[in-house]
Amino acid sequence: MFKKFLERLQAKSKPRFADFVTGKKLYKSYLADYPLSFARLGPDDYRRAAGDSRLALAEGHYRGAVDGARQDNRSDDVATGLEELGKVHHLRGEFGEAAACFDEAILIYEDMGQLDRAKLASLGTCYFNLGIMAYKQGDADAGRTHLEQSIAVDEKNKDVAGCAETRRVIAILEEQAAG
């Protein structure tokens, strides 16, 4: 509750916050209509997402938030924006663009040193998405490596549910890969 209030308050003070909040609302609106696990997305899901105007608008807003954070020299906000932008690209099946966003966010988080729980969760999310995309592109070894990195981050963060979800996703993806 307080986090949402703080986001709305910040959105009034800086355009980059407004862009982030608007992008997040658009992204969540799409997910509310199509609540699928990223591990279960297929070609039809990617096509539908690629054609959805909400995700196109969310991409623009997230790019604005990232650009504003870069101008304000706020690397933590750049990383958060890149993570969200990566998820939009992932939903649309734009794996190259998504991977570039997640990879840059990971580098930023790693450069930050000691991360709080929220930043650790974001780092784990980046590895999680990279793992799913690698599996979907036929690289099970890279996929498993990224997902194991996600589990390691979740363990460090004491996120039992995150560890369990990632293990469940590995099983789903390995089953899909086996045909």
Q: Nearest Cα to 29, choosing from 114, 119, 91?
A: 91
List of domains in the chain: 7-178 (1.25.40.10)
pLDDT tens sequence across 102-156: 999 999 999 998 889 999 999 999 999 999 999 999 999 999 999 999 999 999 9
Hey, what amino acid is at 173? L
pTM over 0.85: yes
What 3-state DSSP class applies to 14? coil
3-class secondary structure per residue, 44-99: HHHHHHHCCHHHHHHHHHHHHHHHHHHHCCCHHHHHHHHHHHHHHHHHCCCHHHHH
DSSP state of 35: -
